[in-house]
Amino acid sequence: MVLRREIFRCSNCGLENGVISFGFEFGGYGYMTGRNESGTKFCILELIGNATYEEFCKLYEEECGDGDIIRMQRMFAIACDPIDGCRVSFTAKPRVCSGCGSDEFEPVLRSEPADDIEYFEVSYTTWNSLDIEAKRLLIKEAYNKTV
Ligand SMILES: [Zn+2]
């Protein structure tokens, strides 16, 4: 997998902003990407054959059962160990210009390698050390906090 920075030009002030994108060999199916909350580190996780994810989905359905896959996937962050001391998030950050704060962009047909951005594999050490009731409780709490 290659991280690239796609360039967008702000329609308001003309500043070029880089947006990190993930290049996937197989189109990204079965993968989920996230970042830490400070937005400096990225992570990738494989969903297919991921025992922690499967268990999480099963418990989510039993506890919450709303069939909302997007919400479930975002909430899966609670099962992930922090990256670099920062919590993992699967919620997309709104894209705004770093110069003027505008959210209107023109695409620029250019991208560059983002070698300076690190990404990590996600681990679930803390989650896996919990018993099933503690996991259920965490899911319920997180569910009540998300909108
Ligand atoms: Zn701007």
| In the chain, where the domains are located | 2-145
pTM here is 0.78
Predicted local confidence at residue 93, as pLDDT = 72
**Ligand 1 center to 10 CA (angstroms):** 5
Per residue in 106-138, pLDDT (tens digit) is 988 788 888 887 888 889 999 999 999 999 999
State yes or no: pLDDT of 91 exceeds 90.
no
Predicted local confidence at residue 147, as pLDDT = 61
**Ligand 1 center to 97 CA (angstroms):** 5
**Ligand 1 center to 16 CA (angstroms):** 8
**Ligand 1 center to 75 CA (angstroms):** 32
Predicted local confidence at residue 137, as pLDDT = 97
**Ligand 1 center to 42 CA (angstroms):** 24
How many Cα atoms occupy the beta-carbon half-sphere of 20 within 13 Å? 21
**Ligand 1 center to 33 CA (angstroms):** 26
Cβ of 43: how many Cβ atoms within 10 Å? 22
Q: Higher-confidence residue: 23 or 45?
A: 45
State yes or no: pLDDT of 25 exceeds 60.
no
